[in-house]
Amino acid sequence: EIVLTQSPGTLSLSPGERATLSCRASQSVRGSQIAWYQQKPGQAPRLLVYGAFSRATGIPDRFTSSGSGTDFTLTISRLEPEDFALYYCQQYGSSPLLTFGGGTRVEIK
């Protein structure tokens, strides 16, 4: 099973700042098959990015992702008030067995 470790656990930033979230895999993720989700309290996760680079429908371009092998990054270029939330990475390189990271909370400083 591929274990995903997200860091930091919590990111304290101000609106307008840049957020950099890390997702590290215990082994190489085939085809960079990583997705990122945003989750707000009491809500289901929302798909942000898939295939490590492709934004889902309706996701603003301030969300970008990069990475390959075992290291992946989600970057939010300028934080908007609605971006303060929990973020999860998910790998599907070992499909059908899927795993999620432990999450990074982006909170208002």
Partner 1 sequence: QVTLKESGPALVKPTQTLTLTCTFSGFSLRTTGMRVGWIRQPPGKALEWLARIDWDDDRFYSTSLKTRLTISKDTSKNQVVLTMTNMDPVDTATYYCARYGSGSYDYFDYWGQGTLVTVSS
Point out which residues bind partner 1 (CB under 8 A): 1, 33, 35, 37, 43-47, 50-51, 56, 88, 90, 92, 95-103
Q: For residues 19 and 48, which CB has a smaller minimum distance to partner 1 in the complex?
A: 48
Cα–chain-centroid distance for residue 17? Answer: 17
Q: For residues 15 and 89, which CB has a smaller minimum distance to partner 1 in the complex?
A: 89
Shortest Cβ distance from residue 45 to partner 1 (Å)?
Answer: 6
Burial (0-12, 13-18, 19+ Cβ within 10 Å), 41: exposed
Shortest Cβ distance from residue 50 to partner 1 (Å)?
Answer: 4
Which structure tokens are listed for 70? 């075992």
Specify whether the CB–CB gap between 66 and 59 falls below 8 A.
no
- DSSP class of residue 31 equals G
Q: For residues 8 and 51, which CB has a smaller minimum distance to partner 1 in the complex?
A: 51
